[in-house]
């Protein structure tokens, strides 16, 4: 069926599958200013050797347990101090710091067991007791909790295991990680992965911009100024394989009355503005806007329904 509607497509930027969330916690490192060598202080904090010498001299006189002690060090102007204040461990720090959350195999694959490695710093040798991970995804959210062994506390990392029953399908999954010590201290971290297909390519279609039915939906949204209907969709192709997958830039689209498999009301084709290549273990994303003027197959179907 010929189309009177016109489609406009564009490719979208995407984030790595193992660092998928735009608002995730930022991984960081910490250095113990009471134990680090002069060269470690210079390299990690990016300060001058002279400033590092003064920090070493200060801690010989007294343990550095307060940021104000560091602020008094000559050669650490306000700009430098503000940059390093979140990168140092102080004596007696009662907090548990989660530094990063990674997948034990770098990525998470659909319908397969996996483990998340939680990296943390424990400056006061607290008795870190429990790690808890709340998982938010397209299905029902759930929580996995696990006690830490003394070896895991000493190594400052713990692997949280998700068995086959808790494996996930393809798509984004958000993990809210909390680490608790015996005295009530808590560290928190948010990390999002795009679960990659195990089989090994997956295409998903989702709404992109309209709330026609009061919810996020892939339906035509009436544009009063132009007397047209605008249908916006986002397409994501996930590649779980170890090689790049290249596809034709030509794409076909169809509109049905009553959902996929219903009565075909209009169809057409468009070209992506560039080659469609999905890198290994990565995601390609694109969006398409279909504009349907009055008299098109789409609007004829809408009008017939309304009358």
* Domain 97-195 coded CATH 2.60.40.1930: yes
Q: State how far the Cα of 30 lies from the Cα of 78, in Å rounded to an integer.
A: 19
Q: State how far the Cα of 98 lies from the Cα of 29, in Å rounded to an integer.
A: 9
Contacts of 213 (CB under 8 A, 6+ apart): 219
Identify the burial level of 106 via C-beta atoms within 10 angstroms of its C-beta, where 0-12 means exposed, 13-18 middle and 19 or more buried. exposed
- DSSP secondary-structure letter at 199? S
Q: Do residues 133 and 121 touch, judged by C-beta distance below 8 A? A: no
pTM: 0.82
Q: State how far the Cα of 142 lies from the Cα of 128, in Å rounded to an integer.
A: 22
Return the H-helix or E-strand segment holding 292.
strand 282-293
Which architecture characterizes domain 6-15+199-306 according to CATH? Sandwich (2.60)
- Return the SS3 of 274: coil
Strand order in the sheet with 114-121: 97-103, 114-121, 157-162
Q: State how far the Cα of 284 lies from the Cα of 281, in Å rounded to an integer.
A: 10
pLDDT attached to residue 115? 98
Q: Where are the domains of the chain?
A: 6-15+199-306, 34-89, 97-195
Q: Do residues 47 and 39 touch, judged by C-beta distance below 8 A? A: no
Residue with tokens 């910490």: 30
Residue with tokens 């397969």: 112
Average pLDDT over residues 176-188: 92
Domains 6-15+199-306 and 97-195 fall in the same CATH topology:
yes
pLDDT attached to residue 122? 79
Average pLDDT over residues 232-237: 93
Q: State how far the Cα of 284 lies from the Cα of 305, in Å rounded to an integer.
A: 36
pLDDT at 306 over 50: no
Task: Write out pLDDT tens, residues 69-121.
Answer: 998 898 888 888 888 888 898 888 888 899 999 998 899 999 999 999 999 98
Task: Write out pLDDT tens, residues 41-66.
Answer: 999 999 999 999 999 999 999 999 98
Return the H-helix or E-strand segment holding 159.
strand 157-162
Confidence of residue 184 (pLDDT cuts 50, 70, 90): confident
- DSSP secondary-structure letter at 201? E
| Whole-number average pLDDT of the chain | 89
pLDDT attached to residue 41? 94
Task: Write out pLDDT tens, residues 198-208.
Answer: 988 999 988 87
pLDDT at 176 over 80: yes
Q: State how far the Cα of 26 lies from the Cα of 220, in Å rounded to an integer.
A: 38
pLDDT at 38 over 70: yes
Task: Write out pLDDT tens, residues 255-279.
Answer: 888 777 788 888 899 999 989 999 9
- Please state which of the ranges 131-135, 169-173, 217-221, 299-303 shows the lowest mean pLDDT: 299-303
Which of these, 61, 65, 39, 189, lies nearest to 124 by C-alpha position? 65
Q: Provide the H-helix boundaries in 62-102.
A: 67-71, 78-84
Q: State how far the Cα of 97 lies from the Cα of 187, in Å rounded to an integer.
A: 5
Return the H-helix or E-strand segment holding 256.
strand 250-257
């Amino acid at each position: 069926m010929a189309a009177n509607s016109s489609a406009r497509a564009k490719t979208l930027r995407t984030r790595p599958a193992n660092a998928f969330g735009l608002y995730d916690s930022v991984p960081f490192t910490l250095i113990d200013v009471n134990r680090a060598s002069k060269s470690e202080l210079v390299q990690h904090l990016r300060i001058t050797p002279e400033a590092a010498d003064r920090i070493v001299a200060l801690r010989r006189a007294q343990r550095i347990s307060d940021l104000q002690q560091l602020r008094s060090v000559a050669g650490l102007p306000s700009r430098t101090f503000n940059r390093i204040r979140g990168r140092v461990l102080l004596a007696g720090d009662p907090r548990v710091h989660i530094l990063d959350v990674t997948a034990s195999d770098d990525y998470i694959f659909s319908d397969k067991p996996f483990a998340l490695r939680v990296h943390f710093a424990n400056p006061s040798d607290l008795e870190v007791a429990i790690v808890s991970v709340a998982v938010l995804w397209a299905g029902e959210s759930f929580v996995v909790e696990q006690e830490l062994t003394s070896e895991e506390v000493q190594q400052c990392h713990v692997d949280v295991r998700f068995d086959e029953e808790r494996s996930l399908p393809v798509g984004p999954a958000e993990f809210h990680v909390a680490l608790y010590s015996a005295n009530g201290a808590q560290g928190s971290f948010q990390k999002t992965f795009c679960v990659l297909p195990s089989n090994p390519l997956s295409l998903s279609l989702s709404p992109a911009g309209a709330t026609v039915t009061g919810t996020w939906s892939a339906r035509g949204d009436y544009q009063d100024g132009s007397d047209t209907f605008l249908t916006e969709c986002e397409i994501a192709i996930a590649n779980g394989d170890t090689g790049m997958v290249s596809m034709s830039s030509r794409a076909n689209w169809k509109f049905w009355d009553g959902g996929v498999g219903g009565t075909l009301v209009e169809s057409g084709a468009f070209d992506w503005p560039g080659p469609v290549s999905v890198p290994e273990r990565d995601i390609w994303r694109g969006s398409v806007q279909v504009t349907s003027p009055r008299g098109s197959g789409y609007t004829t179907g809408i009008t017939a329904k309304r009358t």
